[in-house]
Structure 1
């Protein structure tokens, strides 16, 4: 219980510390690059607060222009700060629509140009994938969690087709990103 309260307090403090400057500087940077930069710093702060070590392997295998669909497994809420805090380049992410309704966090996500997806409405989901393809065409890789949600067991779940449809639509490769060891950190549920 106390550990959960400390985690919530740390996440809340970091969200205010990095979210407010991201919101205030957003009008100066309509591309979303500055908001994403703040999201990366927020993630690194959370990793430090949680004493979560991250080791990155294989980044040299990315396409030189980094135009791709990054597909990552999703075992824990910790996966987000792990990816944002360790990938040393700009990218955009497709995230479930409900995250965009969270004050500060959702606002920064919108300002950064992240793409919301309504998984319950196929037509809206297709429009989101088209917006993601436009992000790729503008020079930014897009990150997708193809399982569609976090795993309840830590095991890899069946993939939804959206990431692969996006890669076809954008004409770019799919680059797998594997995250190991995050399941026990912030378990779903």
Structure 2
């Protein structure tokens, strides 16, 4: 029964998507860039919150007071595809994600991700990867926060993998404020049931921000290890096991 409801909602949402895009196109032509960006964010934020409710996902979040008013880079562990929804539906802030270029093939998804200022990485092409990093730095300068999953892929479990080499280049190059996030539980609702989605709880903890500009040379070199330790230690506290 749940799957029938989800299917009906998905079809309904696809129809609404066309309407929203027409409306946003009108706003872009007749309003300021700031008003347009605010409208895009409102649509996406409300969509993510609605999807969480429809699926039956409750996000227990703590540390909302640690989110800076200005732009920042969120650094999170990555267990599940549900992580995206949990972040998008709880943090009321314009956030572009660092994503694999393969997502560009899914037009209905990638078109919205482009509007969110997501950056698509080609891991097999160093030159294109550097261009993507520069695009992310430009996004930060323009006022759009970014989110990175440094593990590079879903763990599909409660375990946390190592951070990929170079995964934090965007943050270090921009001398950004980074906000670590520990997130747990999404894999039980999706990956553990072979991608069928089931209701449940996701725990999310937003840790105190770290300003890269304030770090010394050694700390910057070890930033990946510093953030990995902070997130892994917090993950132990919020795990549902």
TM-score (norm. length: structure 1): 0.85
More helix by share: 2
1:80 corresponds to 2:78: no
Residue number among 137, 142, 145 corresponding to 1:141 in the alignment: 145
Report the counterpart of residue 54 of structure 1 in structure 2.
59
Q: How far is the alpha carbon of 1:87 from its aligned partner?
A: 0.5
Residue number among 179, 185, 190 corresponding to 1:181 in the alignment: 185
TM-score (norm. length: structure 2): 0.68
Say whether the 8 Å CA contact 1:15–1:104 is kept in structure 2: no
Report the counterpart of residue 42 of structure 1 in structure 2.
47
Residue number among 109, 124, 130 corresponding to 2:128 in the alignment: 124
Q: How far is the alpha carbon of 1:162 from its aligned partner?
A: 4.1
Unaligned runs of 5+ in 1: none
Report the counterpart of residue 155 of structure 1 in structure 2.
159
Report the counterpart of residue 98 of structure 1 in structure 2.
102
Say whether the 8 Å CA contact 2:6–2:54 is kept in structure 1: no
How many residues in Structure 1 have an aligned counterpart in Structure 2?
A: 186
More strand by share: 2
Question: What secondary structure sits across from 2:184 in the alignment?
Answer: coil
What is the root-mean-square deviation of aligned Cα atoms in Å? 2.4
Q: How far is the alpha carbon of 1:17 from its aligned partner?
A: 5.0
Say whether the 8 Å CA contact 1:69–1:175 is kept in structure 2: yes
Q: Which has the larger radius of gyration?
A: 2
Residue number among 5, 18, 21 corresponding to 1:20 in the alignment: 18
| Distance in 2 separating the partners of 1:95 and 1:22 | 23
